[in-house]
Amino acid sequence: MKLGELYNLYFQDIYRFLVSLSRDPYTAEDLVQETFYRAYVYLENYKSGNVKSWLFTVARNVFIDHYRKQRREVVTEQSFFTRVFDRKLAIEDQILISEEVDYLLKLLGEIPPEQRMAIILRDFHDFSYEEASEIMEVSLANFKVLLYRGRQRIRKRRNEQDD
């Protein structure tokens, strides 16, 4: 498969993944560029398998590299998330969904990055447990623990804010 085809197929998924992690659309755009650049450089070393999982692994590594470089800088909160709504839904339903997504993203931003990444990969991008653990480069058992703890923290924060 050629890089252009990969780009067209997976750009939106990789972009949403990186926006979810970085919480900044401009940073996510830069990271998407870096992801596909690295994919281009290492495409000949890619072994056949699930190309989407491989690209998400590359994107994860790009994010980690960026995060390590920016660790000392203050990150500003951005309330931006790209959504594709079902055109069959009424405007009121779309607004409610939008508000719920914004609320969940706020809660996601309050949990540790590894737990956030586990939730995003499994619940937002529908990767299997095995694929998501490979992307995060952790054991399957560790991935399940991260996912469980992340979900628990979100439930706890949600209950605290609802009370």
Average pLDDT value for residue range 50-63: 86
Contacts of 120 (CB under 8 A, 6+ apart): 17, 20, 21, 108
Number of structural domains, the chain? 2
* Cβ contact 38:62 at 8 Å: yes
Query: Are residues 41 and 99 both part of a single domain?
Result: no
Tokens of 119: 């939730």
**Lookup: tokens for 106:** 């706020």
Q: Averaging pLDDT over each range in 4-13, 70-79, 88-97, 138-147, which range is the top one? A: 138-147
Model confidence at 94, in pLDDT bands (50, 70, 90)?
low
Residues 44 and 15 in one domain: yes
Q: Say how far residue 126 (Cα) sits from the centre of its chain.
A: 11
**pTM given for the model:** 0.55
In a domain, 80, yes or no: no
Residue 129 shares a structural domain with residue 97: yes
pLDDT value of position 139: 93
14 is in which domain, residue-wise? 3-70
Looking at residues 104-116, what average pLDDT do you find? Answer: 84
Whole-number pLDDT of residue 76: 35
